[in-house]
Structure 1
């Protein structure tokens, strides 16, 4: 059963572009993970400060395996840390992980 993981990240408006840049720099890093089905970074269109990182997984076990993988650890280090440089400042002030299963939808999307 497909599971949806949503990381709700609180990002002050002045840091939004940097968050998008950091995600773009890691584009495709999770694509080859077993059970991975898709990814979206959702930017707020109103005055909210919560960006949503939405991933789809074949099942909970696939998601948990990715969390424990070297690819996850590598992808969640900063660009400069990977290059041996100085650690940049965080752009987010808070995040929380939400977990869902697909309960219904359009044909081909459930």
Structure 2
């Protein structure tokens, strides 16, 4: 499994707006081959980043998503929040799972 984690630093006063954008997202990624699931984590401490995780069958499936028209369309919607809503740039991290307790 390939896991992508995006840490997004959102100003606390924009948190509700940020969360609503995810609740009403286009869901285009959900239909992509190799997509498993999406998990959005709210920080417990204000000022810490949100963490958006996507789980993929493979890195190739994730790369295909990033090169797709659906990716461009889905991310165009993220421009609904002004630049001042963020404390800084997001940080994208990628991982390969070597252990998954759900897999048995």
Please report the TM-score for the alignment, with normalisation by the length of structure 1: 0.82
Question: Is 1:98 the counterpart of 2:98 in the alignment?
Answer: no
Provide the secondary structure at the position in 1 that maps to 2:100: coil
Provide the secondary structure at the position in 1 that maps to 2:61: helix
Distance in 2 (alpha carbons) for counterparts of 1:63 and 1:96: 17
Which structure's CA Rg is the greater one? Answer: 1
Distance in 1 (alpha carbons) for counterparts of 2:51 and 2:94: 12
The aligned length equals 102
Higher helix fraction: Structure 1 or Structure 2? 2
Deviation at 1:22, TM superposition (A): 0.9
* 2:4–2:53 CA contact under 8 A, matched in 1: yes
Gap regions ≥5 residues in structure 1: 82-86
Distance in 1 (alpha carbons) for counterparts of 2:39 and 2:62: 15
* RMSD of aligned alpha carbons: 2.0
Question: Is 1:72 the counterpart of 2:37 in the alignment?
Answer: no
